[in-house]
């Protein structure tokens, strides 16, 4: 059974239609890359799936692991195992990463019928995940994203993803603003989290990230829908030729 099935999804923000009949099926164990020029709807897709209420869904349906995703509040989606690594993670001054994660992990565990971890076990769990994604120890003790560099924020997103152990991880342009070392660390983190029951949607503007996170499928999003799908070779082709040839093809057709 597929993990995520998106059928004919349409959405708009501030009266402007962004997604116009978007279709996608993601099975467990798969990595899907979604590429596309600026303004094609990539980040809208991520926001709509996560339940950001600034976006209005105007049509279509989304099935997530047998449940109606669009019917769920954002926190329920998260507890059901949908994780969004934000393009611009927000700062929460005064709230330490440890406390933030403790609250989040406790909620997710509760949803899965598990008791909260006692402090000692939680810290051990946190240490394990920190090492997995090579997160600097001192970042964990600081306030959520406060004063973090761009790279640190992105790494913190991957760390949180590791902590919450989602079924589906959506990376919204996680590579933007990262130098090559940070990119490698972030990608390694994702690769270590990959398993046969988990899936990832990697949203990116450039092919670069896909050198490190190798996708099973690459989709090109243009004007609110997928206009082309293929394997990783498609990404290379895009890198070489840019997006214009697709636009041209579409106009001709």
Chain positions contacting other proteins, by CB under 8 A: 50-54, 73-75, 77-79, 83-84, 86, 89-90, 92-95, 99-100, 103-104, 107-108, 111, 143-144, 160, 164
**Rounded to the nearest whole angstrom, what is the least distance from the CB of residue 77 to other proteins in the complex?**
8
Looking at the Cβ atoms of 143 and 188, the one nearer to other proteins is 143
Strand partners for 61: 7
Q: Where are the strands (E) in the chain, listed by range?
A: 4-13, 16-26, 31-35, 56-64, 67-68, 82-85, 92-96, 143-144, 168-172, 199-204, 217-222, 225-230
> Tokens 């993670």 identify what position?
89
**Rounded to the nearest whole angstrom, what is the least distance from the CB of residue 76 to other proteins in the complex?**
9
> Tokens 């130098």 identify what position?
179
**Rounded to the nearest whole angstrom, what is the least distance from the CB of residue 124 to other proteins in the complex?**
20
Looking at the Cβ atoms of 93 and 240, the one nearer to other proteins is 93
**Rounded to the nearest whole angstrom, what is the least distance from the CB of residue 48 to other proteins in the complex?**
12
Looking at the Cβ atoms of 48 and 226, the one nearer to other proteins is 48
Looking at the Cβ atoms of 99 and 195, the one nearer to other proteins is 99
Contact 54, 31 (CB under 8 A): no
């Amino acid at each position: 059974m597929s993990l995520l099935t998106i059928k004919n999804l349409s959405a708009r923000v501030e009266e402007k239609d962004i997604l116009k009949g978007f279709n996608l099926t993601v099975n467990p164990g798969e990595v899907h890359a979604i590429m596309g020029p600026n303004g094609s709807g990539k980040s809208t897709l991520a926001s709509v799936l996560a339940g950001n209420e600034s976006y209005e869904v105007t049509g279509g349906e989304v099935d997530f692991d047998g449940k109606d995703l669009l019917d769920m509040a954002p926190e329920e989606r998260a507890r059901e195992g949908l994780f969004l690594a934000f393009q611009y993670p927000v700062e929460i001054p005064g709230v330490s990463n440890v406390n933030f994660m403790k609250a989040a992990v406790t909620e997710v565990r509760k949803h899965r019928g598990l008791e909260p971890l006692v402090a000692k076990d939680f810290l051990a769990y946190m240490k394990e995940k920190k090492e997995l994604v090579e997160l600097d120890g001192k970042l964990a003790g600081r306030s959520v994203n406060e004063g973090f560099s761009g790279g640190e924020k992105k790494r913190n997103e991957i760390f949180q993803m590791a902590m919450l152990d989602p079924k589906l991880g959506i990376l919204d342009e996680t590579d933007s603003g990262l130098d090559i070392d940070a990119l490698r660390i972030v990608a390694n983190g994702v690769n270590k989290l990959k398993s046969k029951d988990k899936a990832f949607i990697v949203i990116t503007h450039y092919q670069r990230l896909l050198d490190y996170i190798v996708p099973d499928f690459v989709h090109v999003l243009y004007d609110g829908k997928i206009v082309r799908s293929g394997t990783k070779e498609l990404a290379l082709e895009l890198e070489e030729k840019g997006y214009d040839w697709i636009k041209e093809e579409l106009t001709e057709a």
